[in-house]
Amino acid sequence: MNNSSSVIVQAKDLTKQVVSPEGNLIILQDINFSIDSGTSLAVIGVSGSGKSTLLGLLAGLDIPSSGNVSLDGTDLNSLDEDGRARLRSRRVGFVFQSFQLLASLTALENVMLPLELAGDTEPEEKATNRLVDVGLKERLHHYPNQLSGGEQQRVAIARAFAGEPKILFADEPTGNLDQKTGQQIIDLIFSLNKEHGTTLVLVTHDTAIADHCDRRLTLSGGKIIKA
C-alpha cells in the first residue's frame, strides 16, 4: 500500500458552481480523490460531465466554490493567482486539444518560452533536446503553420516536458487529430511519462486511451460515479 507521502494531487470536497440566467449551476459537486506520484489517471465522462473543469481546478487554473486541492503538498487555496502561476511554472506541464502554440514563434521558440519565463539558464539546449525526443529534430525552425497537426501537438508535448514537471495535465490531447496520429501522440505521452517518472492526469472521452492509464475516474453530472 502507498503511504500518504506519495500523494501528489488531492481533491477534498471539491465543488464548483457558477451563476447562470437559470440560477446557480453546479458543475462539480463533492469531489474527493487522490493521485499517487508517478501514476497515471484517466478522467472520463460524456461532454458536459465536468472533466475539463476538474482539470482546471486541479491545476490551479480556476478556483473552487468550496473544498480544496493540494498540489505537490501545497494547498492551492493558500495561494493567490500569482502564487498558483509560480507553482505551475515549476511543477506542472500542460497538453491541450488545441495545441496553443504561438503562431509568430518557431517550434524551438515555443518550447523555449516557458523555460525563459521561469528563468532557466539553458533554455535553448533543453528545448532542442525535448524536440529531438519527440522526433522533430528537422523541424526546430518551422513555424506552427508549417507543421501538421500531429507535429504541432509534438511541439506542445516537448514544451510540456521541457521544464521537467512533476505533473502533466492533458486535456483531450488527441481531439484534433486523426486516429493514427492520435495513437502516435498517446504512445509518445506515455513513453515520455514513464521515462521522466511524471504523474499524468489525462482527460479523455476515449475509453481505449483511458485503458493506458493506471486508474480511471468516471464523472457524470458533476459527480464521481466510478473511481
Q: What is the pLDDT of residues 166-178, one digit of tens each?
A: 999 999 998 888 8
| pLDDT reported for residue 1 | 38
Q: What is the pLDDT of residues 59-74, one digit of tens each?
A: 999 999 999 999 999 9
Q: Where are the domains of the chain?
A: 37-51+78-217
Query: Is residue 109 over pLDDT 50?
Result: yes
Q: What is the pLDDT of residues 118-168, one digit of tens each?
A: 888 999 999 999 999 999 999 999 999 999 999 999 999 999 999 899 999
Assign 206 a pLDDT band (cuts: 50, 70, 90). Answer: confident
Query: Is residue 38 over pLDDT 70?
Result: yes
HEC-encoded secondary structure of 78-135: HCCHHHHHHHHHHHEEEEECCCCCCCCCCHHHHHHHHHHHCCCCCHHHHHHHHHHHCC
| pLDDT reported for residue 71 | 95
Mean pLDDT of 103-117: 95
Mean pLDDT of 97-126: 93
| pLDDT reported for residue 82 | 93
Query: Is residue 5 over pLDDT 80?
Result: no
Domain 37-51+78-217 has CATH 3.40.50.12780: no
Assign 2 a pLDDT band (cuts: 50, 70, 90). Answer: very low
| pLDDT reported for residue 51 | 93
